[in-house]
Structure 1
Amino acid sequence: MSKIQEIWTDRVEYSKQRFVEKDKDELEPGQILVEIDKFALTANNVSYALSGEAIGYWGYFPTHEGTWGNVPVWGMATVSEVNGSSIKVGERLYGFFPMSSHLIMSPGKISEKHFMDETEHRRPLPPLYNQYMRTEAEPAFMQKLENERCLYFPLFITGYVIADFLMDQSWMQAEQIIISSISSKTGYSCANFIKSMGFEGNLVGITSPRNHEFVTQLGTADQVISYGEEDRLNKVSSVYVDMSGDGNTRREIHSHFADLLKSSQVVGATHWESERTGKGLDGPKPEFFFAPSQIAKRNQEWGPGVLLQKGSGASADLAAKLADQVSIEFHQGAQNVMQIWADLLANKVSGQKGLIVNL
């Protein structure tokens, strides 16, 4: 293998993409080469692009060429070449990868279950995204969930961490929690976990008319409304979990509740093209939810990895429940990947679909 294939995305105009072939560098001592054979594409990846500069997602797989970047994805890979590492050829890995056919990695802090990629430019970045699971050390049932793991687990675990954060804050003393873009995987998983963690108030989901029936069938929300119907909501103390990033919806929520809004948490950006300003809003200032902060807090309180272990178990259970409600589709080739990216940007991908791809 002499060429690595990649899809680059413009860091300013996300609709611009290009297919790139580049020469593979020789492995340095301790490095490995992995072949990325599947990864998921979801609205979460759009959020990575949108917050790429602010949070640093563009820094994981830099292109070093103008405004071009490589959007991170969650996927599976097989080790294809090793130069002096204890990692073995043929091992299966799960973790954070570029939209690429291959990746050169520098494993460190190696244990039976996982290792960290200690490539120099990644060392200052949040460790959550630098850890790779060695799946052969995992239970057989987990090894069989490769597609679900790529597709659901990063989103479901984010939903789990949001729910844990709100529970940790005693639900902000709110009587109602509102989740926009509840048809997204992060959205409906968050709603599910909020309920399972004991929230007894009213849980509201906001979605588009075409996803209304799907969300209702999921049964995770007590009340489902469409965008533009925010004035129907009960004026009680509330928390807003913003998965859509839609500035108009955010403004309507803040205007409707004003000081009754206890917290406004910005998580995603499924409606990435809309106005996203937080200026001039009634009520509390919107806060960007950063999952690694809550994970770090729980690591201190509960021990390293306990929160993520709980989230993984809950995610596996939820994925099993959704087997008959969400269909997983497989697509191959750069052109198909770029078309799916365009559909995600246009918000054309139904919550009832899960898309697994490779180059």
Structure 2
Amino acid sequence: MSTTTLQVRKNQLAQTRWQSVEDAPLTEGQIRTEVELFALTANNITYAAMGDAMRYWDFYPSGDADWGVIPVWGFATVIESRHAEVPVGERLYGYWPTANRAVLQPARVNPLGFADAAPHRAELHAVYNQYIRTANDAFHRAGTESVQALLRPLFLTSWLIDDFLDDNAFFGATTLLLSSASSKTAYGTAFQLAQRKGVNIVGLTSDGNKAFCESLGCYSKVVGYGELDQIAADTPCVYLDFAGNGDLRRQIHERFTELRYSCAIGATHVESLRGAKGLPGPTPTMFFAPAQVKKRNQDWGAPELGRRMVESWQAFTVRTSDPAKPWMTVEHQSGQAALEAAYMQMLAGKSNPAVGQTFTLR
């Protein structure tokens, strides 16, 4: 057996290659999994764009300093085990490589799951090292794994952004500006924010995606990137930057004299990434979801945090999967060519926002 992995050049994300390596025998305590279904979203483009800064490349090292493996969210099944507590056939949800197989080293195993204790992941954030047993997962629903792979990690980030803003009284702002408004993380955030009172949710998007964003019904107003003058310059506002577009960020900072907080979240506009130095107003601050998880675990305890997230997740997926008017339809594809083509399209910002893409490499 061999493991085949998609790799991208770290300093030139449009360059890709496939690497196939014969599987080495497992050592005691390791498991080998077959990655059976994973999603590709703008979130994965962010992982690549921020690979060095946020250490996303470190989860699945390629063995070559110039090339990286983009992590993806999805499902895998244990096909070989040398760990007494994790049997062959166990199905897991978690953070995988863009590959057909992955080797993990389970530690702190409990009925809900385990952490990967591979030495190279010891200093990486614990949230990404957790693998969940689907049999005991409150989020899991049979038959909806594609939706879970696509939306679950994004929505949990959305939920935490909304919670972070509420926790900080929206920094005294009344208007929230969300760039890349058609992205799943942005509209998940808007879905949550729309349940708050006293805030105006403005989606910023390209002209081609305005109709889609308006159809969602979770934005108070949708504005094209070239239409910022529709919003009064003295509006007390917070900027939620899901795009990573440096030119747009500068326009926001220069136009809005009452910008209270600038939150950097994603990097869907890879071609426009710029530094944040020299901007007027508040310094852009990177949102790191695990930090808010840690805070709420301390505030509420993990069980209560989990309960709140599951409740919100169920409401969100009911809405996004509404047969009468779904926000997203799922397209599943198999094989290397399909994944590479979808990655290139997404990197270029040309994906259809109404379609969620999942993959299998076999």
Same fold by TM-score greater than 0.5: yes
Q: CA deviation at 1:270?
A: 1.0
How far does the alpha carbon of each residue in 1:31-50 deviate from its partner, in whole angstroms, 9 at most, with x for none? Answer: 11100011000000000011
The equivalent of 1:98 in structure 2 is 97
SS at match of 2:162: helix
Indicate yes or no: 2:283 matched with 1:281.
Answer: no
How far does the alpha carbon of each residue in 1:167-218 deviate from its partner, in whole angstroms, 9 at most, with x for none? Answer: 000111101111001100000000111122x241211000111111111110
The equivalent of 1:332 in structure 2 is 334
Change (3 A) 1:10 1:305: farther
How far does the alpha carbon of each residue in 1:59-116 deviate from its partner, in whole angstroms, 9 at most, with x for none? Answer: 0000111301100000100110111331111111000000010011111111111111
SS at match of 1:152: helix
How far does the alpha carbon of each residue in 1:263-312 deviate from its partner, in whole angstroms, 9 at most, with x for none? Answer: 00000011111042212211111111111111111111111354344223
Counterpart of 2:189, as a letter, is: C
Q: Is the 8 A contact 2:264 2:286 kept in 1?
A: yes
Counterpart of 2:346, as a letter, is: L
The equivalent of 2:214 in structure 1 is 216
The equivalent of 1:355 in structure 2 is 357
Q: Is the 8 A contact 2:134 2:140 kept in 1?
A: no
Q: Is the 8 A contact 2:237 2:261 kept in 1?
A: yes
Change (3 A) 1:26 1:286: same
Change (3 A) 1:218 1:146: same
Supply the distance in 2 between the matched residues of 1:263 and 1:311 (Cα, whole angstroms).
Answer: 25
Q: Which runs of 5+ in 1 are unaligned?
A: none
The equivalent of 1:195 in structure 2 is 194
Indicate yes or no: 2:124 matched with 1:122.
Answer: no
The equivalent of 1:30 in structure 2 is 29
The equivalent of 1:298 in structure 2 is 296
Supply the distance in 1 between the matched residues of 2:289 and 2:273 (Cα, whole angstroms).
Answer: 23
Give the stretch that moved more between structures: 14-23 or 317-326.
317-326
Change (3 A) 1:272 1:135: same
Supply the distance in 2 between the matched residues of 1:153 and 1:268 (Cα, whole angstroms).
Answer: 16
How far does the alpha carbon of each residue in 1:226-260 deviate from its partner, in whole angstroms, 9 at most, with x for none? Answer: 111112212311000000111111111111113x0
SS at match of 1:46: helix
The equivalent of 1:177 in structure 2 is 176
Q: CA deviation at 1:137?
A: 1.8
Q: What's the TM-score once normalised by structure 2's chain length? A: 0.95
How far does the alpha carbon of each residue in 1:303-338 deviate from its partner, in whole angstroms, 9 at most, with x for none? Answer: 135434422331232122111231100111111111
Q: Is the 8 A contact 1:106 1:119 kept in 2?
A: yes
Q: What's the TM-score once normalised by structure 1's chain length? A: 0.96
How far does the alpha carbon of each residue in 1:327-358 deviate from its partner, in whole angstroms, 9 at most, with x for none? Answer: 10011111111111100110011210100011
Q: Is the 8 A contact 1:157 1:308 kept in 2?
A: no
Q: Is the 8 A contact 1:157 1:312 kept in 2?
A: no
Supply the distance in 1 between the matched residues of 2:24 and 2:184 (Cα, whole angstroms).
Answer: 37
Q: Is the 8 A contact 1:152 1:315 kept in 2?
A: no
Supply the distance in 2 between the matched residues of 1:310 and 1:122 (Cα, whole angstroms).
Answer: 29
The equivalent of 2:142 in structure 1 is 143
Change (3 A) 1:143 1:113: farther
RMSD across aligned positions (CA): 1.3
SS at match of 2:302: coil
Q: Is the 8 A contact 1:135 1:143 kept in 2?
A: no
Moved over 4 A (4+): none
Q: Is the 8 A contact 2:138 2:310 kept in 1?
A: no
Q: Which runs of 5+ in 2 are unaligned?
A: none
Counterpart of 1:34, as a letter, is: T
The equivalent of 1:51 in structure 2 is 50
1:233 counterpart (216, 231, 241) = 231
Give the stretch that moved more between structures: 304-313 or 9-18.
304-313
Counterpart of 2:220, as a letter, is: D
Give the stretch that moved more between structures: 143-152 or 65-74.
143-152
